[in-house]
Structure 1
Amino acid sequence: MRNRSVVAAVAVAALTAVGLAVPAPAVAAPSRADLALRWAPIHHQDVDATGSHALGGRADYITRVDFDGDFNGRNNWDRAGASGTSLAAHAYYSVAETSTHWYITYLFFHPRDWTDHPFFETEHENDGEGLMLAVERDGSEYGVLRAAVTVAHTNFYSYMPAGSSWSSGRENVDGTLNLAASPHDSFQHPVTAQQAQGHGLKAHPQYAINGDGIVYYPSTVAETPSSGNDRDVRYQLVDIFAPGGLWAQRNNPDLFAHLGTFAGDASGGCGVGTFACGVNSANAPWGWDDGDDLPGRGQIATDPAKLSAEYFTIPGGLSRAYTYNPYASEAAALNAAARTAPRVVD
């Protein structure tokens, strides 16, 4: 049998000799981990060091759910302030695919949602907010970014990068999704930002650093900020579906109080000196919900094609048939449970 490279070379030469165009080689699809890393946000985190609940600013650092070495959601408030505890920077991701688009969901986790106000504001153990990016599969290696939907407490906000072919749909677009270069790779990344204390997430600069803050850059390593005012910290992505990881723990009652809602209690000082401490008050992506919008609870992650079709007008439409959706094996059960699950107010 002749070597395939030799056969290919002969074929190209023959086409060239008769003046026919040589077809471009097919672009191999990137791994899902590479795709998530390529589009992961440059993330601005505002930091507040006011009061004892701030931990000198550390309460605003992003980290792993199991930063303290266990998957117990009810000890995270306490252990975030423990001596020697690592708050190395991580974020979680999942990828769903159709023939027309990739959908990448990112979760940024904080052990505390906190406040330094004694009146009218609550705090709670654990905090999970994030975003979904819609990327069109245009034949290039990583596709083209078309839109984002971010999670700020119990509301979703939609954005598009400049030049996107998408436009407003059932929901109005809330602004432009800016892109910026990273010093750690050769790509332009979307830029997002989170508030201090409550950690609502929007496209930058709708939220922005106000004084102290951290700029996190996507990477394959996890760094810990040198202080609450560090403008170059690399964060590592963690697959939600990694063996033994976040999705594998979805029925662990120490971590989840019910479908997609992190377990959290009022121990360890949460609520002391403030209006109140909420219990079981933060969500994973399959629990995110904007109750005023049509897509159901969690569908920003579990059925992002549906959410995209509702939120945006998309020239040429999009496929709703998933070629890969890691949530799909339990999608029916998730949707049924979401209809009866308590709504979590973050």
Structure 2
Amino acid sequence: MLDHRSTLRRSRVARALTAAGAAAVLVAAPLAAPTPAVAAVSRADLALRWAPIHHQDVDATGTHALGGRSDYITRVDFDGNLDGRDNWDRAGQSGTSLAAHAYYSVVETSSHWYITYLFFHPRDWTDHPFFETEHENDGEGVLFAIERDGSTYGVLRAAVTVAHSDFFSYTPAGSTWTSGRESVDGTLQFQASPHDTFPHPVTAQEAQGHGLKAYPQYAINGDGVVYYPSTVAETPSDGNDRDVRYQLIDIFATGGLWAQRANASLFAGLGTFAGDTSGDCGVGTWSCSTNSANAPWGWDDGNDVPARGELASDPAKLSAEYFTVPAGLARTYSHNPYATAAAALAEAARTAPPVVD
């Protein structure tokens, strides 16, 4: 009789084969024409529909890699607490779960939905001693701009990704949006999912430092994990698992990340995760820095017009700067919980020193 682990392995293999077949339909083509809406969609369903299929490169080299586990995406309280200063150490301890999660927020205008996704890692690490620093916690992600065209889920027009302290912009093939003050950096591709009926945008993160771009500007190089949006959270079977489902968490949920923004154990400042130099962070490398990762309301590209955090808190402003939008953009929000702290965000962005991830 097969034991539980044998059954699990066979299930993983079957899903991996299904995923491999799905990967073959990776295209740079626009989505099919949407169907007319029959009911208002919930923000949770909207976020799930547009959540990316996410390619995570994995490096198992060196002790700081934890055999590849340092490149797994997870939730900020993966270790059972909201203390940002113990995540580096606890990522390597037995009994902690690195089940796959990602965070999202939805803000709305009359013309568009804007969905921001955050992918969190307990470590930003390196396997060599020269020029690069490590730090506790790592938060990078992507913004999708969705036109409200009367269909259930709208039409995805553009994306802006976060790779360390730089933003990169993309449009799907056939999008009506073109370059604005910033040049479009590439084409956002779509891939069918084996877990639902939708084509999803495809993003990718590099190993170690976890910069995020549209696939294939980053891609899996050897070992890697392919994460699929879902309503369940799975843990990779190893560093080369090509079908792992991740679960979404609402940033604005009761007690969620936004509600915790003043929690000094989790955040060192507005939009900056707390992190220290405990454990082996920086050992054998150039250095370990403190308080060096950001939540979406702390993301910043210092070379553009939008202020720190406005990718998430004022995405209509950022979209108008980054893109030329023939139909125009509504700038008044009908739903934007970030705006309740807009003054504090603006003041913090004006006075706080830049945080380099």
- TM-score, reference length from structure 2: 0.90
Q: Answer yes or no: is the 8 Å Cα contact 2:271–2:295 preserved in 1.
A: yes
Q: Deviations over 1:261-312 (max 9, x none)?
A: 0000000110000000010000000000000000000000000000000000
Which residue does 1:11 correspond to in 2?
Answer: none
Does the alignment pair 1:104 with 2:115?
A: yes
The residue identity in structure 2 corresponding to 1:227 is D
Within the candidate set 194, 200, 222, 1:189 is matched to 200
Q: Deviations over 1:44-101 (max 9, x none)?
A: 0000000000000000000000000111000000000001210000000000000000
Which residue does 1:8 correspond to in 2?
Answer: none
Which residue does 2:242 correspond to in 1?
Answer: 231
Does the alignment pair 1:142 with 2:153?
A: yes
Instruction: Note the 1:164-179 alignment, pairs <5 A.
Output: 164-179=175-190
Structure 1 unaligned blocks of 5 or more: 1-23
The residue identity in structure 1 corresponding to 2:181 is R
Q: Deviations over 1:126-183 (max 9, x none)?
A: 0000000000000000000000000000000000000000000000000000001000
Within the candidate set 204, 207, 226, 1:215 is matched to 226
Which residue does 2:333 correspond to in 1?
Answer: 322
Does the alignment pair 1:155 with 2:166?
A: yes
C-alpha distance in 2, partners of 1:63/1:50?
A: 20
Q: Answer yes or no: is the 8 Å Cα contact 1:77–1:112 preserved in 2.
A: yes
C-alpha distance in 1, partners of 2:265/2:232?
A: 28
Which residue does 1:343 correspond to in 2?
Answer: 354
RMSD: 1.0
Instruction: Note the 1:1-346 alignment, pairs <5 A.
Output: 27-346=38-357
Q: Answer yes or no: is the 8 Å Cα contact 2:85–2:265 preserved in 1.
A: yes
Q: Answer yes or no: is the 8 Å Cα contact 2:36–2:151 preserved in 1.
A: no
Kindly report structure 1 stretches of 4+ aligned residues shifted beyond 2 Å. 24-27
C-alpha distance in 1, partners of 2:211/2:157?
A: 22
Q: Answer yes or no: is the 8 Å Cα contact 2:83–2:266 preserved in 1.
A: yes
The residue identity in structure 2 corresponding to 1:141 is T
Which residue does 1:19 correspond to in 2?
Answer: none
Q: Answer yes or no: is the 8 Å Cα contact 2:71–2:121 preserved in 1.
A: yes
The residue identity in structure 1 corresponding to 2:240 is N
What's the secondary structure of 2:141's corresponding residue? strand
Deviation at 1:29, TM superposition (A): 1.9
Q: Deviations over 1:8-30 (max 9, x none)?
A: xxxxxxxxxxxxxxxx9863221
C-alpha distance in 1, partners of 2:40/2:281?
A: 46
Higher Rg of the two aligned structures: 1
What's the secondary structure of 2:242's corresponding residue? strand
C-alpha distance in 1, partners of 2:109/2:270?
A: 25
C-alpha distance in 2, partners of 1:135/1:331?
A: 23
C-alpha distance in 2, partners of 1:280/1:337?
A: 15
Q: Answer yes or no: is the 8 Å Cα contact 1:27–1:139 preserved in 2.
A: no
- TM-score, reference length from structure 1: 0.92
Identity over aligned pairs, percent? 81
C-alpha distance in 2, partners of 1:295/1:71?
A: 30
The residue identity in structure 1 corresponding to 2:102 is A
C-alpha distance in 2, partners of 1:191/1:133?
A: 12
Deviation at 1:317, TM superposition (A): 0.5
